[in-house]
Amino acid sequence: MQQLEEKIRTEGQVLGDDVLKVDNFLNHQIDPELMYAMGQEFYRLFQSKKITKILTVESSGIAPAVMAGLIFKVPVVFARKHKSLTLKDNLYTATVYSFTKKVSNEISISKKFLDADDHVLIIDDFLANGQAVQGLMEIIDAANATLEGVGIVIEKTFQKGRQLLDEKGVQVESLARIKAFENGQVVFVDDK
């Protein structure tokens, strides 16, 4: 998605070898018009699927997910993150390890918001090692719901998340695919 790649090039900040900071328009400050354009793009990519629900994880997934939900005309459910959970009644839960923050969180979704009739599109801000998406997939499995696809804002193709999802036969569509960081600059897969 051209508009997004331009935004990443001009406003993204490369930190170290593998971290891209996009808190100018996605992770802290949000550009709502860009989020809407991303929602339209997710709709274009997944409109052939029968989607009944969009799943994401708080907080940075909410803005792109809710714009996609507006266009798909389906509810959005965001998984909550917890340091640890003692009471798990009525919740689907999964453990998600963050390689960036080097910490495990539990994520949860109330059982009443996901069931066997649901056809789910997962939307998330980043795909790196694929831990968050895998956590959501465990929850979808536990609910006997059907995963229809995964929509990602920014994918780092050099980390293992994409491969994990490809091996499971999941349709993954990323709006920006980063091949590498070179001298503090972002190189996209479709760069010449």
Query: Smallest distance, Å, CB 24 to its own copies?
Result: 8
Question: By CB under 8 A, is residue 102 in contact with its own copies?
Answer: no
30 binds its own copies (CB under 8 A): yes
14 binds its own copies (CB under 8 A): no
Residue 115 sits in the site that holds its own copies (CB under 8 A): no
CA distance 142 to 136: 10
Q: Per the annotation, does 183 bind a ligand?
A: no
Report the C-alpha gap between 187 and 46 in whole angstroms: 26
Token pair recorded at residue 26 = 């996605």
Does position 73 bind its own copies by CB under 8 A?
yes
Q: Are 175 and 153 in contact (CB under 8 A)?
A: yes
Q: What does the alpha-carbon distance between residue 127 and residue 151 come to, in Å, rounded to a whole number?
A: 9
Q: Is 132 annotated as a binding residue?
A: yes
State which of residues 67, 120, 153, 165 lies at the interface with its own copies (CB under 8 A): 67
Contact call for residue 4 and its own copies (CB under 8 A): no
Identify which range of 3-11, 61-69, 144-152, 176-184 contacts its own copies by CB under 8 A: 61-69
31 near its own copies, judged by CB under 8 A: yes
Judged on CB neighbours under 10 Å (0-12, 13-18, 19+), 85 is middle
> Could you tell me if 186 and 165 are in contact, meaning their C-beta atoms sit under 8 angstroms apart?
no
Number of neighbours of residue 80 by Cβ within 10 angstroms: 17
Interface stretch with its own copies, choices 42-50, 60-68, 127-135, 149-157 (CB under 8 A): 60-68
Structure tokens at 29: 């400050």
Of the candidate residues 59, 100, 104, 163, the single one contacting its own copies (CB under 8 A): 59
Residue 21 to residues 46, 61, 88, 178: CA-CA distances in angstroms?
27, 15, 33, 13
Q: Judged by CB under 8 A, which stretch of 43-51, 106-114, 138-146, 154-162 contacts its own copies?
A: 106-114
Question: Residues in the site for its own copies, rule: CB under 8 A?
Answer: 23, 25, 28-33, 35-36, 58-59, 62-63, 66-67, 69-70, 73-78, 80, 109-110, 113
